[in-house]
A and B are shown apart, each in its own frame.
Chain A
Amino acid sequence: MAKKNYDVIIIGAGVVGSMVARFLSRYKLNILHIEKEADVCMGTTAANTAIIHAGYDPVPGSLKAVMNVHGNEMWDTLAGELHIPFERRGDYVVAIGKEELPALDELWDRGVKNGVPGMIMISGAEVRRREPDINPDVSGALWASTGGIADPFAATVAAAENAVINGVELMLDTKFEDFVMDGNRIVGIRTNRGDFGSRWVVNSAGLYSDEVMHKAGLRPEFKITPRKGEYYVFDRAEIAVNNVLFPVPSKISKGILVTTTVHGNTIIGPNAQEIEDKEDRSVTQEGLDEVWAGAQKLVPKLSLRYAIAVFAGLRAGGNAPCKTPGVDYKKDYIIEIPDEVRGFVNLGGIESPGLVSSPAIAQRVVDLLKDAGEKLEEKPDWDPIRPERPRFRDLMPEEQKILIQNDPRYGRIVCRCEYVTEGEIVAEIHAPIPATTYDAIKRRTWLGTGRCQGGFDTPRVVEILARELGVSPLEVTKKGAGSTLLARPTKEVEG
């Protein structure tokens, strides 16, 4: 393959990589964005609690804390420009029983040190008023009014798409293999789809960020240890928690939340279990039991009867020591342009609060490049707005009528439980970042996430994908190569 040369190559299209792509797309740079999976947002960003944290939790002085608070401030503008479902509704750290109250004070102090605005301590009675089904032994809560919830898939797709519209080249199914070095300078990368030259490479490979930086000979002691978190999702029609409810945190994690999401479903989770396999997203009985026990502490009235889905995500937990003098913290973010290797922007260990931090991290990357002497010339025609595609179920009947009149495909419901229409599915298949698998469509439209979990829509989606992509239904996959949904025509027996 002919070697093409870029100014920047970004490895990884999770929310961090996609935000970096979007922020860099503002400048006159030739950018290549690569992702090893069949779609963006299939790593850590695909499975998490979707919280825009307020920022009282990270250790003061850490990069996590700075990125969290700075990122939090950026979300209103970001969500508006990119049309990301986002609600700044505040989050609660709930103390059950008097003995948990001192922990709230600790978080308060941390929040103050981190510069978190809008924190208020509220009484148990007030918590009960705002969340009637909360554990009656609630003694008080820290209400952080700048906390929020967002749709991480939408955020990633929107950012990556905005980047593509603004000239970034996105290549899916493209896996980083090695760097091409000239002395201690990175001049390109090797992938399974050929070599590409570049002046800069940005490492936003999430769970694999350690392996990428090791290929450049950097930070051999840095290791990503995946930490699995499992979740239950509840039927929107049966369970509706109003708020984002945290328990008082433990040493290893923020704890098992009970929270609403931007789609209206209540979810509970995650637990935290260190594992070895970076691709092990299996749901376990033990994990689910742990999540259930934790959630019941906050909202005893929950019933598993109304659980409609379970899933697991992997945190990309690193072991990098915090660079701030005097701060003894060993799991901080790596966001740096190292001295030892030229042409490298290294991002590592971006776990929670990764989603809220993502725009701040992207801005930091821009600043680091400027500090390193890059003349970043703005494109006069850079468009920060990513237009929204219509969601049938969110429209009023009058708007629905007009939508159908203009394109009858919006008149055909494919996912009965979530009211997703053929028009929306076709729009995603032909979007700037085409959705070409069942899961890609699911992430973007929320199809198949309801009561019947794809029982009704799967045959219809297969038919639409086959038709729109011009392939046989036998080639349609759930999540990329190796995950075909069908085996063979009914009437063709092998042999």
Chain B
Amino acid sequence: MLKNMYDVIVIGSGPGGLAAAIEAKKTGAEDVLMIERDRELGGILLQCIHNGFGVEIFKEDFTGPTYAQQFISQVYELGVETLLDAMVLDISPTRHIYAISKWSGFAELDARAIVLAMGARERTRAQIRLPGTRPAGVYTAGTAQRFTNVEGYLPGQRFVILGSGDIGMIMARRLTFEGAKVERVLEIMPFLTGLTRNYVQCLLDFDIPLQLRHTVKRIMGNFRVEAVEAVQVDEKWQPIAGTEEIIPCDTLLLSVGLIPENELSKKAGVVLDPVTGGPFVDEGMQTNVAGIFAAGNVVHIYDLVDWVTEAGSVAGRAAAKYAIAQRQEAARHVKMQAGQNVRYVVPHRLDKESLVEADQKLQMRVIQPIEGNVWVEVKDGDELVTRKGQRYARPGEMVDIKLPQKAYDAVRKADTLTVNVVPR
């Protein structure tokens, strides 16, 4: 059963979200919920089946899924709640969340603090304005990775990869391992954009040619990719005429950059840095909206997951502290409620600590006159806190009652005090 109010809600259960949720719990947040759009926890790590994760934090060379498991176990041990296969539709600046899922339907949740950990999306073919036809077989590397490693299908048999980023190179090796042919890796820059280690172990090891200062001029094939036209570019990234080469293939993989995914952040009123594409954050990863924090690729693009975990922990800790402070702030106050025959009570809320100093006076007006003895009583649920007797009560004459200092202990326990004016 979902609660209405959580201390911390984390959106996304990739490395950033997992670390944030765990650290929030460890810092003392009581109710922590992770909302994840996939059917299981782990985010992008689940499809990164290669190793290289955890070298810094764990001094280990884990695969992505194994790295994720280190945190997933802790999530369950610590009692973090999870809502899976669920999408957050909207977040308000007052931290009201609308989420939907097949299994829980429509959920409206409030959070004392939120950690945004939605990660990044991949740059698309249209964003790099790649001319040509629009056949089946044009994929971003991440989507191809999902199909190959999780869904269990190769998206093609003969590949050209645009972009020498790590995802592209990792996929080059992965596809080669599964019996596909990677014809070429093309990189528009004059240098490798991924790690040298991947160049060696993914391309050189398998004789996959890398061409720097090259790009795809157009995609060919009406129904399915049939070839790409590669071309060399000059220092201004303009195609050099005469260097065109048609490379037959059935799939073009795009590894041309990641973009922090901040549509939800914008809805919450979070201001984004146009340079990073992610929120402006302080040392606790808090955005410009009080109580909304962000961690991981949603802030800026990382290359080592260990540092995403670190950022997630920072955000989780800060979010928990914020939530705890909010709880304490709310607990400091007791709400006064107009009960039987009472139209209103002033003050509407009371700082409990004020009773340490002095009695506190409550003022009210009755709805109906009672010509006869009455009790003016203050109750916490069924428990009487204090009361006084009066000989009558009339709407035209303000009624008051003192909350005495000695009621401090009773008031401290309460969330709401109800004031009634009833016949004696």
Contacts and interface: CB of A to CB of B under 8 A. Distances in A.
Interface of A: 233, 237, 279-285, 288, 304, 307-311, 397, 400-401, 404-405, 408-409, 411-413, 416-417, 419, 422, 438, 451-456, 458-459, 462-463, 473-474, 477-491, 493-494
Interface in B133-186: 133-137, 139-140, 142-143, 146-157, 178-180
B102 A412 contact: yes
Nearest to B100: A411
Q: Which 4 A-B pairs have the closest CB atoms?
A: A478-B136, A482-B223, A493-B179, A483-B223
A412 B85 contact: yes
Given A307-B126, A455-B121, A490-B154, 14 more contacts: A233-B126, A237-B263, A279-B222, A282-B131, A282-B133, A285-B129, A288-B129, A288-B131, A310-B129, A411-B101, A412-B102, A451-B263, A482-B223, A488-B157
B106 A487 contact: no
B157 to A, nearest CB: 5
A488 B134 contact: no
B131 A285 contact: yes
B266 A237 contact: yes
A393 to B, nearest CB: 9
A493 B178 contact: yes
A446 B136 CA distance: 18
A276 B284 CA distance: 61
A482 B224 contact: yes
A450 to B, nearest CB: 9
Contacts of B251: 487
Given A237-B263, A288-B129, A416 B151 contact: no
Given A288-B131, A412-B85, A486 B155 contact: yes
B214 interface: no
A157 B131 CA distance: 29
B284 to A, nearest CB: 28
A473 B151 contact: yes
A408 B127 contact: no
A494 B125 CA distance: 30
B223 A453 contact: no
A485 B155 contact: yes
A125 to B, nearest CB: 32
B122 A487 contact: no
B250 interface: yes
Nearest to B150: A459
B136 A487 contact: no
A479 B223 contact: yes
A78 to B, nearest CB: 30
B237 to A, nearest CB: 12
A478 B134 CA distance: 10
Given A400-B100, A491-B152, A411 B122 contact: no
19 contacts: A282-B218, A288-B129, A307-B129, A308-B127, A401-B105, A404-B105, A404-B106, A411-B102, A412-B102, A438-B136, A452-B124, A455-B142, A459-B151, A474-B153, A482-B223, A483-B136, A486-B154, A487-B156, A487-B250
A262 to B, nearest CB: 20
A455 B85 CA distance: 17
A455 B87 CA distance: 16
Given A405-B105, A451-B121, A452-B122, A311 B100 contact: no
Contacts of B134: 281, 283, 311
Given A459-B143, A459-B146, A488-B153, A282 B122 contact: no
Contact of B224 (A237, A411, A452, A484): A484
B375 interface: no
B224 to A, nearest CB: 5
B105 A308 contact: no
A484 B136 contact: yes
B352 interface: no
A486 B98 CA distance: 35
A397 B98 contact: yes
A454 to B, nearest CB: 8
Given A453-B124, A481-B223, A483-B223, A489 B131 contact: no
Among B85, B153, B154, B219, the most chain A Cβ lie within 10 Å of the Cβ of B153
B89 interface: yes
A283 B136 contact: no
Contacts of B224: 482-484
Contacts of A419: 89
Contact of A491 (B151, B157, B178): B178
A270 to B, nearest CB: 15
Interface string B60-87: 0000000000000000000000000101
Given A311-B134, A401-B105, A490 B126 contact: no
B191 interface: no
Contacts of A455: 121-122, 124, 140, 142-143
A453 B126 contact: yes
Contacts of A480: 223
Nearest to A458: B143
B379 interface: no
Contacts of B180: 487
A282 to B, nearest CB: 4
A408 to B, nearest CB: 5
Nearest to B124: A453
Nearest to B90: A397
A460 to B, nearest CB: 10
A490 B153 contact: yes
Contacts of B101: 411-412
B87 A416 contact: yes
Contacts of B149: 490
Given A411-B102, A412-B85, A307 B127 contact: yes
Contacts of A284: 131, 218
Contacts of B136: 438, 477-479, 483-485
A459 to B, nearest CB: 5
Given A487-B153, A490-B152, A411 B263 contact: no
Given A411-B100, A452-B121, A489 B154 contact: yes
A139 to B, nearest CB: 32
B393 to A, nearest CB: 42
A404 B131 contact: no
A401 B217 CA distance: 47
Contacts of B37: 413, 416
Contacts of B137: 485
A400 B87 CA distance: 14
A311 B125 CA distance: 12
A332 B229 CA distance: 39
B179 A494 contact: yes
A288 B218 CA distance: 13
Contact of B124 (A282, A288, A308, A486): A308
A459 B143 CA distance: 8
Given A401-B105, A490-B152, A459 B147 contact: yes
A483 to B, nearest CB: 4
Nearest to A422: B102
B129 A490 contact: no
Contacts of B98: 397
Contacts of A462: 151
